[in-house]
Amino acid sequence: MKSVLPLFIFVDACGWEIVKNDPFARSFAPNRKRLESVFGYSSACVPSILSGAWPVEHRNWSYFVYDPVNSPFKSLRCLRWLPAAVTSRRIFRRWLSKFVKAQLSFRGYFDLYNVPFKHISLYDFTEKKSPLQPHGMNEGTNVFDYLEQRRIPYHVSDPGLTEEANLASLIHAIDHEEPNFAFLYWPALDGLLHSVGNQSPEIPAKLRSYERWIEKLLHTARGHYQEIKLYVFSDHGMANCDEVLDLKAQIETLPLRMPEDYVVVYDSTMARFWIFNDRARWLLTECLGKVPQGRIVPDAELGRLGALFPDRYFGELVFLVKEGVLIVPSHMGERPIRGMHGYHPEEKQSYALLCTNQEQIPEQVTAIPHVYNLMVKEAENAQSCNEKPQAPSTTARAVQVPSAVQS
C-alpha cells in the first residue's frame, strides 16, 4: 500500500458551460473552478497545460505555418493533379495522413486535414513531437521531462490507444502500485461535441460513462493508495456553429496572387496571413475590416494572450471570427461541423473546467497553464510520501496540507 496517488484526468473539450448545470463528477470531485483557456486549438491548449507555459514560450500554437524552405511535404505536390472528388475525401486524407506521418516520423498528432496539394509545399507542420512525452515541446520542457528528471514513476495515456484501453492500462499500473503520478487523457468528448454540438443528449450520456470509469478507477486505487488526489480538468469548451463564413471566396476576389503576394492558412475559426508587399497588406486589411463575422486581432491583444510571436512564425496578421461562426471551406475542413472551439478565450464557451476532491484550489490557479503547477506540486509531494514509509496517520495529515502554487 502506498500513501498518495495524484490522479490527473484530462477530459478534452469538457468546458465550464458544458458541465455548469450538470452534476458531472460532483460525487467524487465536488470542488469546482472555471479556468481561462489559451487562445488557439488543442494544439496550443494541451502543450500549455503540460508545460505551464504560454504559446509564445513553448511555440506549440497552430499546426500549419508558412515555411517553404523547411516544408516536408514537397513530394505531395504531385497529388495536385488528382481530382478533387478524391483528394477532398476524408477517407483518402486520413489514409494519406497516416502514411505521411510514418514516412516523416512525426510522433505527435498529425492530419493533413484539407490543405490543398497545390500549395502544400509552402507549409510546415509544427507538432512533430508528442507533447504527451518527454522532450515533446517545441521550446522548453513539460511535466514528463520534470518527472523523468526527478525519477518520479508515472503513468501517462498513449493517444494511439482507445479511451477504454488507456483506462485499463492505468488500472493495471495502479494494481501494481507503480505510479507516484498518473495522467489520463480522454479525447472522445471533443470529437463527439464537434459532430453533435453542446446541446445533444449524447453529451450528458458521455459524461455519465466517464463518471462510471472514474468510479472504477477510484475503486481500484483505494485498494492500493491511502489517499487519491483527484483532479479532473479540460482545455476548452465547445460552441455550436450556427453560421458559416466563406472567407476564402472573399479573399480570392482581391487582385492578389498566392504565394507571390501573400500566403494564408484558413483554420476553422481564424485565418493567418503572411504578407509580402504593402499593396497586399492594404488590400487584405481593408477586405478583412469589412467582414462583420470577425476582426483582425491587434498585436497588443495577441501579446496579452501569450500568442504574439516576435518572428511572426505563425503568421503576421490574425483574423478571428466570433463565437458560433465557422470558416468553411477552410484548410481544416471542406464541410460544416456542428461544434467548434478556438474562439477568443473570453467567449462564453471557451472556458475550461477544473474539479477536484481537494478542499482548496489555490487562488493563483485561474488559467489552464496553471494545472501544470498543481501537477508538479502533487507529484513532488507523492514522491516524498510514497518513498519515505511513515505512520499512516502522519502521512494522511501531511498530504492534506494545501500549499501555495506558483501562478
Shortest approach of Zn ion to residue 6 CB, angstroms?
26
Which residue number, 37 or 373, has a Cβ lying nearer to Zn ion? Answer: 37
Shortest approach of Zn ion to residue 190 CB, angstroms?
4
Report the DSSP pairing between strands 239-240 and 262-266: unpaired
Dihedral (Cα; 132, 138, 140, 145), 10-degree rounding: 30
Alpha-carbon distances, residue 321 vs 97, 129, 146, 318, 333 (angstroms): 28, 29, 37, 10, 16
Shortest approach of Zn ion to residue 13 CB, angstroms?
6
Longest CA–CA separation in the chain, Å: 77
Strand segments (E) across 257-307: 262-266, 270-275, 294-296
Distance CA 27, CA 222 (A): 16
Which residue number, 190 or 380, has a Cβ lying nearer to Zn ion? Answer: 190
Which residue number, 43 or 87, has a Cβ lying nearer to Zn ion? Answer: 43
Please give the distance of CA 312 from its chain centroid, rounded to a whole number.
21
The stretch near Zn ion (CB under 5 A) out of 150-158, 190-198, 199-207, 222-230 is 190-198
The stretch near Zn ion (CB under 5 A) out of 108-116, 185-193, 227-235, 324-332 is 185-193
3-state SS, 150-172, equals CCCCEEECCCCCCHHHHHHHHHH
The stretch near Zn ion (CB under 5 A) out of 68-76, 183-191, 211-219, 316-324 is 183-191
Distance CA 293, CA 320 (A): 9
With CB under 5 A, what is the number of residues at the site for Zn ion? Answer: 1
Which residue number, 190 or 323, has a Cβ lying nearer to Zn ion? Answer: 190
Which residue number, 163 or 190, has a Cβ lying nearer to Zn ion? Answer: 190
Shortest approach of Zn ion to residue 187 CB, angstroms?
8
Alpha-carbon distances, residue 288 vs 280, 284, 371 (angstroms): 12, 6, 36
Distance CA 277, CA 210 (A): 52
Shortest approach of Zn ion to residue 16 CB, angstroms?
16
Shortest approach of Zn ion to residue 292 CB, angstroms?
25
Among 124, 127, 163, 190, contact with Zn ion (rule: CB under 5 A): 190
Instruction: By CB under 5 A, tell whether 235 contacts Zn ion.
Output: no
Shortest approach of Zn ion to residue 138 CB, angstroms?
20
The stretch near Zn ion (CB under 5 A) out of 126-134, 171-179, 187-195, 272-280 is 187-195
Distance CA 19, CA 247 (A): 33
Which residue number, 6 or 342, has a Cβ lying nearer to Zn ion? Answer: 342
Contact 219, 34 (CB under 8 A): no
Name the residue with the smallest CB distance to Zn ion.
190
Which residue number, 12 or 227, has a Cβ lying nearer to Zn ion? Answer: 12
Binding site residues, Zn ion, CB under 5 A: 190
